[in-house]
A = this chain, B = another copy of it.
Amino acid sequence: MAATVANGVNVEQLIGTVKAVQGTPGLAHFKFRSSSDWRGGAKTATSIQGFYGAGQEDSSRNRAFVLEGDEPPVLLGDNTAPDAVEAVLAALSSCLTVSFIYPAAAQGIKVHSLQYEMEGDLDLHGFLKLSDKVRPGFQNIRVTAHVKADAPPEKIRELLEYAKSTSPVFDCLKNPVDVRVELKA
């Protein structure tokens, strides 16, 4: 039997979550939310607190997380916070980490360290609407994973493939997401 806690993850709770969802599929439905406020120039502050999941509104957070965005001076900002596309790389990093660590824990594989280095190409012609042929977003993202774990390279490779196939943010980048914007007066 797997240890109760592996890689800092409560494996019993993880197995319990899988069983709960298998028994009651509706528990798997989550709604995540955010609320942002423009703070002048390129600055935005986004608050994140409540969400719906496991059949109820979550009330575990006593206060909101506030994530800030800005631009560097070359993109007309004040460098008080990362650019939005840099924040996407950070979100992808967090997501690919969880999506690697949880399955490793479930399989009893001890991970010593896990780092992702990322780089993405972006051509401003899209954002500045100077060309219809250039997309505004990343043209590609290159991820280098550095992993130290008590497992042979083939197993680490397998866990990395598993992470790619189950990471929500990886999926949101690789495959189209239906995003609808409504203006409220």
Contacts and interface: CB of A to CB of B under 8 A. Distances in A.
Contact of A168 (B14, B127, B166): B127
Given A157-B183, A183-B157, A126 B171 contact: yes
A34 interface: yes
Interface in A24-41: 25, 27-38, 40-41
A160 B178 CA distance: 17
A114 B53 CA distance: 28
Interface residues of A, number: 128
Counted per complex, copies of this chain come to 2
A88 B93 CA distance: 11
Given A41-B101, A171-B137, A164 B181 contact: yes
A94 B81 CA distance: 10
Interface in A60-78: 60-61, 65, 67-76
A4 interface: no
Interface of A: 7-10, 13-14, 17-18, 21-22, 25, 27-38, 40-44, 46, 48, 51, 53-54, 58, 60-61, 65, 67-76, 79, 81-99, 101-102, 111, 113-130, 135-147, 153, 156-157, 160, 162, 164-185
